[in-house]
Structure 1
Amino acid sequence: MSTDRVPVPGQESADRVPPPADAAAPGRARSNRLNTLTGLRFPAAFVVFIYHASLLGYLGVPWLTSESAVTTYNNAVSHAGALGVTFFFVLSGFVLTWSARDSDTAPRFWRRRLVKIVPNYVLVWGLAMLVFAAPFTDLEIGLLNLFMIQVWYPDFAVNFGVNPAGWSLAVELVFYLSFPVLLHWVKKIPVQRLNLWILGVIVGIFATPFLSVLLVPEGTLFMDMEPETSVNQYFFAYILPIPRILDFALGILVARAVMAGTWRDIGMIWSGALLVASYVVGYYTPYIYSSKAICIVPAAMLIAAGAIADSEGRFTLFRNKVMVWLGDISFAFYLVHYTVMVGVWKLLGSNSYSIPGAVGLMVLFLGASILASWALYALIERPLTQRFSNPRKKLVATAPVVAESRPLASQRAGGE
């Protein structure tokens, strides 16, 4: 990817950003390039992709003929979507903290975030309505999803009413609105107390599902895929933005600990192994716990390990050009893949397939989703982000100066 263009001021991302605000503090040597975290974004988006394939049958897209194959597949990927979402929430807090600048202001930060997420979100909302959602979505639910406020209603028909992936972007919007305040508070924590705060947030994350079961009425609705899990309690523990701010805050705290040199790194291999193990453990715990709490610590450890590996210049599997490119388009991939799945299935005649045919169909889903994501990234996300993240007069005034200092900073490392 070429890097010989003039950068847009304020568009530095975590793979090439000014040193963090406390860079002068004693701590671990740090790189401004976090390509490993960029590369990790695509596997996180991919596990959401394979989970959403399991939802196709529930939403009227019977793509597998064998009931036993459906059951086996659904069981195998039952926690994959939650794992990917949790990883993204922690990653978001980590990367935004790593790339934060003392000279930034809350309005400038919010402008950059909105320019990055809103155009793609609105476009995919329209595509989803066109491809499959319009016949089943009333005007109120459609508008709640369009304006990204669907996550404040304890009703799955509202939460997932248009694009099933869209709810997590509505939660991220709350994170972005709260980030300037959260970062201000976290910076006031003495370095020697960071690990204690991290432990406290982890306890809070594990307490959330427990409190939802203890305090939230079950109601009369239970999840189709998890009949022992109350919809009301799951909404409080998993979807409602306020409890999920703890995931985001954990990323902020871990980033600060890594920058301060107080984080105990066990490396990417062991962190990745723990993340896989946590997924397996999830099969033996109640769904309301396995959907978030069980995997949160290994996810944070892997993110921190990736950043430290980049800082120390160590090899990782996720820093090559292919993985970084896939990471760059992963935000668009995350948003559009379900709509592409349904669209491709309909174009092929709305058929169900045997296992070999279903495998081929999944490969086709993946390829078409990557192509669509590349188009969204290249034609919508990247140009609009470069053009509108800062006021036009700011660009004209400062671009020549920045052009002499360093090449273009691409949108990487968590897309933040």
Structure 2
Amino acid sequence: MRFVAATMVFALHVMVEGIFASGASHPMLFKMLALGGGAGVGFFFVLSGFVLTWSARPDDTPRRFWRRRFFKIYPNHVLTFLAAVLVITLLVGNAVGLADTVRNLFLLQAFFPQARTITGVNPVAWSLSCEAFFYLCFPFLLGLVRRIRPERLWMWAVGVVAVIFLVPLASGLLPAQQPYPILGVTEWETWFIYHFPPVRMLDFVFGILLAQMVLTGRRIPLGYTGSVLLSVVVYALTPLIPPTYAFVAALCVPLGLVIANGAVADRDGRRTGLSGRVWVWLGEVSFAFYMWHRLILITGHDLLGAGEAWPTPVALAISALLFAVTLLVSWLTFRLFEGPVMRRFGTAGGARRARPGGGQVGAPV
């Protein structure tokens, strides 16, 4: 599941990078890819809340939890941060200001509304700024959710979704600005709806509630196939939805149901098409893939022809090549860096404990 979401983000950034000469002439395709990339990030946020709840240890402490999360995401962040600094200074020649560099290094960038701050250095690291905030709050959020009576979990989930749908209305109170072309949202609206960690934590909390439902035996509607079909239908309709709702709110429930029903199927030993050995491997390298892909797209475009755009067949071949390079670098990162760091520092004594549910759903996010 995670690798599919990461691939959607990759596809968006291929278009943003301007590799396709025909890209500028297809605003609807760009919008669909932008919404698909946004859905991929939203999927990560809901999945993160779900997985952390699904795999929570009865004897865990906040300190142990924060230690595992720190060594899961921060070493990869520092590694790609340093690579990004080299790419920006040596290849692109577009230096990022000191303040924005420091904010990026310490994962504070998503708390600031300026796009140059949010996407400074390694542009995709803004989502880690959100995740770090989620992790800080998770032990307390989990304690609160566990106090909810099982029969009331759906009521709370509906309440969280209602607040998610109220966020675009609240964004209308922000300072007036010129909307971005094609997307139809302003810089401040994009920040508040899509980047701001306290707002995006609503997706994370929705994932926590869904996991608690599965763990307490609540029925999840539609089933896996039905929830996937619903997600596809809603995604196809997103160009018709007001943009402030299309980025996050529209797909939050369908994707959440996919995650929850996928976990139920995994628990019950039913096939979903995403549980084979290859998919498990892709899930393991998906975090590194996400962290590296934008930098490799920027570097590859610069080396193959800075500022150039190619006809569709050539652009497809270049995209496939850069995808393969990203996958290779991600595997090497996971094998030689991410995995060893987690084994050495992520758990007490370097030992991993088994997680309930098994399979990819229970793997670290």
Q: Contact 1:154–1:235 at 8 Å: present in 2 too? A: yes
Give 1 or 2: higher helix fraction.
2
Q: CA deviation at 1:69?
A: 4.8
What is the distance in 2 between the residues matched to 1:289 and 1:260? Answer: 31
Q: Which residue of 2 aligns with 1:342?
A: 298
- The residue type equivalent to 2:36 in the other structure is A
What is the distance in 2 between the residues matched to 1:238 and 1:72? Answer: 20
Secondary structure at 2:305's aligned position in 1?
coil
Bigger RCO of structures 1 and 2 (CA < 8 A, at least 6 apart): 1
Q: So what's the TM-score if we normalise by structure 2?
A: 0.93
- The residue type equivalent to 1:282 in the other structure is T
Q: So what's the TM-score if we normalise by structure 1?
A: 0.82
Secondary structure at 2:6's aligned position in 1?
helix
Q: 1:286 to 1:320 in 2, by over 3 A?
A: same
Q: CA deviation at 1:221?
A: 4.5
Q: CA deviation at 1:72?
A: 5.3
Q: What runs of 5+ residues in structure 1 fail to find an aligned partner?
A: 1-39, 58-62
What is the distance in 1 between the residues matched to 2:319 and 2:128? Answer: 24
Q: Which residue of 1 aligns with 2:315?
A: 358
Secondary structure at 1:77's aligned position in 2?
helix
1:53 aligns with 2:14: yes
Match of 2:175 among 217, 225, 229: 217
Q: CA deviation at 1:66?
A: 3.1
Q: Which residue of 2 aligns with 1:370?
A: 327
Q: CA deviation at 1:76?
A: 3.4
1:83-129 C-alpha deviation (Å, 9 max, x unpaired): 00000000000000011112100010000000010011111111122
Match of 1:380 among 304, 315, 337: 337
1:116 aligns with 2:72: yes
| Equivalent residues in 2 for 1:268-279, closer than 5 Å | 268-279=224-235
Match of 1:327 among 250, 260, 283: 283
Q: Contact 2:51–2:361 at 8 Å: present in 1 too? A: no
Q: Contact 1:64–1:70 at 8 Å: present in 2 too? A: no
Q: CA deviation at 1:412?
A: 6.5
RMSD of Structure 2 on Structure 1 (CA): 2.1
1:144 aligns with 2:135: no
What is the distance in 1 between the residues matched to 2:362 and 2:76? Answer: 18
Q: Contact 2:280–2:359 at 8 Å: present in 1 too? A: no
What is the distance in 1 between the residues matched to 2:76 and 2:93? Answer: 19
Q: CA deviation at 1:301?
A: 0.4
Q: Which residue of 2 aligns with 1:156?
A: 115
Secondary structure at 1:178's aligned position in 2?
helix
Q: CA deviation at 1:209?
A: 1.1
Secondary structure at 1:51's aligned position in 2?
helix
Identical amino acids, percent of aligned pairs: 38
Q: What runs of 5+ residues in structure 2 fail to find an aligned partner?
A: none
Q: Contact 1:309–1:316 at 8 Å: present in 2 too? A: yes
What is the distance in 2 between the residues matched to 1:346 and 1:98? Answer: 42
1:199 aligns with 2:148: no
Q: CA deviation at 1:411?
A: 8.4
Q: CA deviation at 1:290?
A: 0.3
Q: Contact 2:27–2:182 at 8 Å: present in 1 too? A: no
Asked which structure has the greater CA Rg, the reply is 1
Q: 1:149 to 1:286 in 2, by over 3 A?
A: same
Q: Which residue of 2 aligns with 1:289?
A: 245
- The residue type equivalent to 2:105 in the other structure is L
Across the two proteins, how many residue pairs are aligned to each other? Answer: 359
Q: Which residue of 2 aligns with 1:94?
A: 50
Q: Contact 1:254–1:263 at 8 Å: present in 2 too? A: no
Secondary structure at 2:364's aligned position in 1?
coil
